[in-house]
Structures are given as structure tokens and as C-alpha cells.
Amino acid sequence: MKRIFSGVQPTGNLHLGNYLGAIRNFVRLQDDYECIFCVVDMHAITVWQDPKQLIDNTREVAASYLAAGVDPEKHIIFNQSQVSAHAELGWIFNCVSRIGWLNRMTQFKDKAGKNREKASTGLYVYPNLMAADILAYKATHVPVGEDQKQHLELTRDIAIKFNNDFNVDLFPVPEPLIFGAATRIMSLRDGSKKMSKSDPSDYSRITMMDDADTVAKKIKKATSDPHLIPGAEVLDENGKLLDDARKERPEAFNLLSIYAALNDKELVDVLGEFEGKGFADFKKSLTEVAVTKLGPMGSEMKRLMDDKSYVDSVLKQGADRAAKLAEPVMKEVFDAVGFLRP
Ligand code: ATP
Ligand code: MG
């Protein structure tokens, strides 16, 4: 069976981008793949996390998977640090991966900011650990948003180099699964930045647990423009937004794309619906659909986060199952590398 690995960092503020770009797709993949959905707490600490908050945020991500509809009986939900294979294989990949490869990673440059010397070394080698997450289970497919495409390329390079270096046919080269419209939801304040958990502004994102009033307020404050909503002339023959149009009005098209994704519609239909209207009208409709879609899920997440023992038991049981899957792979890896395990 085809096997999927994917993860979300427990860095708080789970947002609409995480939902539309990742978590919602997890639910849709359940019938066709064997799925491993991880809460990647080891990735989270590449930037400072308050320890108590990290525990709460770990339960938050697990709760979001469950509330969105991932079935923890059929599939695996667990947090990364419970399974030692991630750290072990991550180290080995630190020795397979090349500094030149990591130097090309744009996310490191974005996250480290200007003062690169002060970034943790973990942030720098993060893509090697991500490769380990995927390959410890010999996952064949990885659902990724645009922001993770480059890291998955690196995972593929590491799999190939490992197989070559040690003259084995051990790791599959995993394929990306990229989903339609919502692969890159932008900040509500600045259409040139992606919506992100780590953005200091609360108004840049709608979170999965925002109540109706907060969603309404954030959409009202979201940057748009005074122009009317255009028609299909901004799309190419495949219904894709023209780059020039996006560049000219990034915030406007971000809001329209969010509306399309929440309604499971194509952008062309949304433009048909709102052509010639202003953003004040449109924002009302956007608020309505956002509240309808996110409201029940947010309540369920809150309920689950109060039921700590249930969430923790899901994570524990998931970790036991994940460890069993990784064990034979790690045995092969240790043999290939030449680690004596008497
Ligand atoms: P951080 O700022 O801490 O990196 P993040 O918002 O980027 O947080 P991640 O945990 O790094 O979230 O990513 C989890 C998943 O959500 C990944 O699959 C990623 O591709 C997806 N994702 C993150 N941001 C967006 C976005 N703005 N639009 C669509 N998908 C997104
Ligand atoms: Mg991220």
C-alpha cells in the first residue's frame, strides 16, 4: 500500500493555511493511503519554545487532526519525540546531506532573518530531520504545501545519495502530493508573506480556534483594495490566476482564493459570483463561510484539548505503532552504515 507521512509543528496558532494547505487534505487521503500524521515537536524547538506551551501546542495539533476527521484507529497520530528513530536517522542524514544543499534552502533564510549567526544549528539542519521523518517509514508520498516543496526535493536527494553511498536499494524516493488552490494562503495583512504561525501579528491569520466575532474582525481588518472584483480575464486558459494579476493585487486575490478553497470551488466560479462587486460585500460572504466551516471544528478542538487523557492516549498508541514500523527500517539502515549492534 502507498504510505503517507506528513506533519505539523506544534508552534501554536494553527491557522487557515495549515487547515486548507495540510490538515484538510489529510482527511481526504485516508481512504487511499496508509497514513502517518505526526506532530513534529522536534522541529518546533529549532526556534525557542516555552516548554509548558510546547506540551499544550502538541495536544492542539493532535486535536486539530482529530477534529478535522482523521481516524486514529485506522491511521497513526503521534508526536515525533516519542519515537527515537527520527533523531537516529536524522543524525545519519546530517552526515549524508551536504552543506551546499542546505545553503540553498530558502526557508532557513526566511526564518533565520538578518542575524543568521544567532540561528540555532537545528534550524539549519531541519530539512535533514524532515527527510528522516519521511524515510524512517519508507513513506512513498508526502502531501506538502508550496513552502515545503524544496525540503521534499532535498529528502529525495538524500534518499538517492544514501542508496548510492552505501550501495543499497533501501529508501524509496518519495513523491510530493500537491493539492489545488490552497497550497499557499497568504497573510491577511501582507500579501507577499505566507500565513504563518510565527507571524507576530494576530491579524495576519485566522486560527482554527477563533470564535465567530474574531473571524469577522480579522476579515474586516484584512488588507484589500478599493477596486471592484474582476472577472475571468485575470485567469489563463486553465483557470489559473495570471502572475501579473496576482502581483498587482496580492491581498485581493488571496481573499478570493480563500473563499474558493473554503467552498471547494474554482476561482473562476468565485469571480463569476462576485464580478463587479466591492470588497465590503465580498468580505461578508467570506466571513460567513469561514465561520460555518471553522466554527464546529474549533469547538471540537477545544473539547478535545480539555480531554487530555484521551488525546495523550491517541499519541501514545500512535507512537507505539510508529516505532514498530520504523524498527525494521532502522535495522536495515544500521546494517548498511556499519553500526555494530551486538
Ligand atoms: P511555522 O511558522 O512555525 O513554520 P507554519 O504555519 O509554516 O508554521 P508548519 O507547521 O511549518 O506551519 O506547516 C504545517 C503544514 O502546513 C505544512 O504542510 C505546510 O506546507 C502547511 N502550510 C503552512 N503554511 C501554509 C500556508 N500559508 N498555506 C498553505 N499551507 C501552509
Ligand atoms: Mg513552516
How confident is the model at residue 120, as a pLDDT?
A: 97
Q: Write the single-letter amino acid at 274.
A: F
Atom of ligand 1 minimally distant from the CA of 194: 27
Q: Does one domain contain both 288 and 313?
A: no
Q: Which ligand is nearest to the CA of 12?
A: 1
- CATH code for position 16: 3.40.50.620
Q: Is residue 263 part of a domain?
A: yes
C-alpha of residue 196 to centroid of ligand 2, in Å: 7
Q: Is residue 278 part of a domain?
A: yes
Which run of H or E residues covers position 26?
helix 24-29
207-245, pLDDT tens digit by residue?
Answer: 999 999 999 999 999 999 999 999 999 999 988 999 999
ipTM over 0.95: yes
Does residue 30 contact residue 74 with C-beta atoms inside 8 Å?
yes
- Residue among 194, 218, 283, 293 flagged as catalytic: 194
How confident is the model at residue 145, as a pLDDT?
A: 80
- CB neighbour class for 28 (10 Å; exposed up to 12, middle 13-18, buried from 19): exposed
- CATH code for position 265: 1.10.240.10
C-alpha cell at 142: 508526502
Q: Does one domain contain both 123 and 158?
A: yes
CB of 185 closer than 6 angstroms to any ligand 1 atom: yes
Q: Does one domain contain both 42 and 172?
A: yes
How confident is the model at residue 229, as a pLDDT?
A: 96
How confident is the model at residue 299, as a pLDDT?
A: 97
Active site residue 109: no
- Residue among 197, 218, 283, 293 flagged as catalytic: 197
Say whether pLDDT at 99 is over 80: yes
How confident is the model at residue 181, as a pLDDT?
A: 61
Cα 106 to Cα 56: distance, rounded to the nearest angstrom: 29
Percent of residues, the chain, with pLDDT higher than 90: 93
Q: Which ligand is nearest to the CA of 7?
A: 1
Domain that holds residue 280: 209-303
Mean pLDDT to the nearest integer, 14-35: 94
What domain count does the chain have?
2
- Residue among 2, 74, 109, 111 flagged as catalytic: 111
How confident is the model at residue 195, as a pLDDT?
A: 95
**Is residue 187 very low, low, confident or very high in pLDDT (cuts 50, 70, 90)?**
very high
Q: Does one domain contain both 252 and 166?
A: no
How confident is the model at residue 198, as a pLDDT?
A: 86
Q: Does one domain contain both 145 and 256?
A: no
- Distances 141 to 3, 29, 74, 138, 192 between C-alpha atoms, Å: 6, 11, 18, 9, 29
CB of 148 closer than 6 angstroms to any ligand 1 atom: yes
121-155, pLDDT tens digit by residue?
Answer: 999 999 999 999 999 999 999 998 888 899 999 99
CB of 43 closer than 6 angstroms to any ligand 1 atom: no
Q: Which of 23-32, 119-128, 161-170, 305-314 has the lowest mean pLDDT?
A: 23-32
Q: Does one domain contain both 16 and 135?
A: yes
CB of 18 closer than 6 angstroms to any ligand 1 atom: yes
Among 15, 31, 9, smallest CA distance to 187 is for: 15
Residue 11: φ, ψ to 5° = -110, 20
Q: Is residue 198 part of a domain?
A: no
Q: Does one domain contain both 12 and 74?
A: yes
Residue 35: φ, ψ to 5° = -115, 140
Considering the chain, what is the average pLDDT of its residues? 95
Q: Does one domain contain both 296 and 332?
A: no
Q: Does one domain contain both 17 and 140?
A: yes
Annotated binding residue at 196? yes
Cα 171 to Cα 319: distance, rounded to the nearest angstrom: 21
CB of 206 closer than 6 angstroms to any ligand 1 atom: no
Q: Which of 18, 80, 134 best tests ligand 1's pocket when mutated (most atoms within 8 Å of CB)?
A: 18
Q: Is residue 192 part of a domain?
A: no
Active site residue 138: no
Active site residue 194: yes
Instruction: Tell the residue number behind the cell numbers 521523518, with chain if given.
Output: 133
Percent of residues, the chain, with pLDDT higher than 70: 99
Q: Is residue 342 part of a domain?
A: no
Q: Is residue 19 part of a domain?
A: yes
Residue 86: φ, ψ to 5° = -60, -50
How confident is the model at residue 179, as a pLDDT?
A: 77
CB of 9 closer than 6 angstroms to any ligand 1 atom: yes
Q: Does one domain contain both 101 and 216?
A: no
Cα 90 to Cα 78: distance, rounded to the nearest angstrom: 18
Instruction: Tell the residue number behind the cell numbers 471547494, with chain if given.
Output: 264
Beta-bridge partners for 7 = 38
Q: Does one domain contain both 240 and 174?
A: no
Distance of CA 313 to the CA centre of its chain: 23
Q: Which ligand is nearest to the CA of 142?
A: 1
